[in-house]
Amino acid sequence: MNIKANSIPMTAVEGEKLMDTLLRHHQLVSNDCNGRGTCGKCKVKITKLAPEPLDNEYKKLSAGELADGVRLACLVTACEGMEVIFGPTGNVDRKESLLFMPEQTSGQHSSVSQVSIDIDVPSLADERSDWERLTHKLQEMCSLTKPTIGLPLLQTLAPVIRQENFAVNVVLHNNEVLDVRPGKGIIPIYGVAVDIGTTNIAVAIFDLETGRMVRLAAAENGQTRFGSDVISRIEFSNASPHNRTLLRQAVIDTINGLLAKVCTAAEIGSKDLFKAVIVGNTTMHHLFLGLDVSYLALSPFVSVSNAYLQLSGTEAKLAIHPQAKVQIFPNIAGFVGGDTLGAIFGAEELLVSGRHLLLDIGTNCELYLQDGARRWACSTAAGPAFEGAGITYGMRAQPGAIERVTIDEKGLAITVIGGGEATGICGSGLIEAIQQMRQAGVLNEQGRIVDPEDPEIQLSSEISSRIRAGEKGREFILSYSSTGNDIVLTQRDISQLQFAKGAVCAGIRTLLDIAGMTMEDLDSVVLAGTFASHLNLASTLDIGLIPQIALKKLKTAGNAAHAGAVKALLDQRAFDGIITQASNITHVELGGSPTFSMYFMDSMYIDPCEI
């Protein structure tokens, strides 16, 4: 069957859902619920042959939207001649804003080097093989004991060394020859640090000889079209071996697309990229490698491998030198992955002796506690609320998202990313909105929206008028819309945030209990990740997301995981040290922990958490 989406001709299989058709044609569509029809985010406008709405569409879409042909792509069956319009799920807005890296650092221990060599010319009196001649010179000039070379390079060695009368430049990774090029011209040697996030992927290219950053870029992870969080992607992967292949290809395509972008901008050849360091959470690690994730989501949450891995560029399917070294951060255990280890390595505060707590807040929140040589780590399923998923008008931090909310005697004011009319609210805006609503008296400590008619409730008329009855309880209007679709927070939205912040707070309290510590004992609490860097830190304390601590001890570290990957790229010795450190971290499994369960229930209140 033939359909058109945004005027692009596409083919659909009979009985296929429109969502699947769009995904098959590599179109990015919000898919938070993995096609169940429950999130209401995959809105499309069907301009021709719109079907009758289904029950879930009546629940998720307004009457105006339904009348205008808006439907949910995951519920619509594609049919011959159907025409569809849909918008982008987002833009690269904040993705690059936190990718700051030092312009100059040390590249002296990057493990990649080059040397110019005049190989002895063969003769009847000297019948050594080409490789023996090259090996002899490498041992003589570089003090290498047993140089090695891969078969693909060995297959081209003979003509290459003779092209400039046995004068060559050799690129080495420790004892291994990565490339041999004719002549004595300097070979540009670059490396790339890659952070595979669940939502976004970031790459940064560095000159491995000077440590200078050349270019960086970020983009939405292509896997998002198969699910917004790790659980939905695990479910998608488990459905069939083909799905696992799709997920792997999606992340590889995203990385290679970014590499093409930065290499073109910096006028760098892809074959001049001789090293890559990759960091990501356990699920992203497995999906990038094409590993089975079936048992990650099942107790006792066992991964296929947590070990440090080193692949070739060809094995990793990356658009870099075929013999390049691709080094992948090891996971710690369970859902505590290489991104946590990268953040430990990348957060400067954790390099200072003392007691430190690291939080990487997201759908799956990783926590790391350090007390001198004692180290613990755990993960807690906070849910997708921090990224806007599962919230009625939730969205990622992109243009149109409410990111700041202020309620005072003058009324309510919002700040929208990119300016203009609000179309939803992102995670940082959600936290601030709920903190302001609690402070203003719109919410009680249990997180319930108050009854404005209650004589004991003292609210201004402007704020009271924003509380109204919704389909499932009261809701609070954050922004009035010219289309009638006001941006609101419902009672269920607030509950979602309570579950998320309760899980994080309970995880912190459980780790501290195990270590025999209190918040007062900590020298710092470091919040890592893009999301955390846009938080109002005081708000995190006010709503009990983080137990009470002196505000000056709260720090943000930006994309610490990516910074850790950069350090590993430029300093192999330091990377070897952090790999060793991974084995000394005690993993704490919170699933089934009575202590965690007790603290979780106690951490649901929208009030400061005093412990």
For residues 75-97, b (16+ Cβ closer than 10 Å) or e, as one string? bbebbeebbbebeebbeeebbbe
Query: Encoding tokens for residue 325?
Result: 């070294």
- Closest to 308 measured CA to CA, from 292, 324, 284, 332: 332
Q: What are the C-alpha distances in Å from 239 to residues 235, 316, 367? A: 6, 24, 30
In DSSP terms, 177 is beta-bridged to: 149, 172
Instruction: Report the SS3 class of residue 296.
Output: coil
Q: What gap in Å lies between CA 140 and CA 118, rounded to an integer?
A: 12
CA 322 to the chain's CA centroid: 26
Instruction: Report the SS3 class of residue 506.
Output: helix
Q: What gap in Å lies between CA 8 and CA 429, rounded to an integer?
A: 35
Quote the pLDDT of residue 229: 82
CA 446 to the chain's CA centroid: 32
Q: Are strands 364-371 and 167-173 parallel, antiparallel or unpaired?
A: unpaired
- Closest to 47 measured CA to CA, from 77, 69, 78: 69
pTM for this prediction: 0.82
Q: What gap in Å lies between CA 443 and CA 433, rounded to an integer?
A: 11
Averaged in consecutive runs of 10 residues, what is the pLDDT profile of the chain (611 residues)? 80 88 74 78 89 86 78 93 74 46 56 94 93 94 91 96 96 96 92 93 94 91 89 93 97 98 95 97 97 92 95 98 98 95 91 91 89 93 82 90 91 91 93 96 95 91 94 93 87 95 96 96 92 88 96 90 95 93 92 92 94 82
> Residue 411 gets which letter from DSSP?
E
Q: What are the φ and ψ backbone dihedral angles of 5, each rounded to 5 degrees?
A: -125, 120
Quote the pLDDT of residue 1: 76
- Between helices 491-515 and 427-440, what is the axis angle to 10°? 100
Query: Encoding tokens for residue 38?
Result: 């429950």
Q: What gap in Å lies between CA 221 and CA 28, rounded to an integer?
A: 10
Quote the pLDDT of residue 105: 53
Helix (H) or strand (E) holding 514: helix 491-515
Residue by residue, DSSP assigns 541-576 as HHTTSS----GGGEEE-SSHHHHHHHHHHHBHHHHH
Domains of the chain: 2-85 (3.10.20.30), 90-328 (3.30.420.480), 353-611 (no CATH)
Tokens 């430990």, residue located? 344
Quote the pLDDT of residue 91: 40
Instruction: Report the SS3 class of residue 141.
Output: helix
Tokens 């919000």, residue located? 30
- Closest to 247 measured CA to CA, from 263, 230, 260, 262: 230
Quote the pLDDT of residue 196: 96
- Closest to 174 measured CA to CA, from 234, 85, 109: 109
- Closest to 476 measured CA to CA, from 495, 445, 502, 450: 450
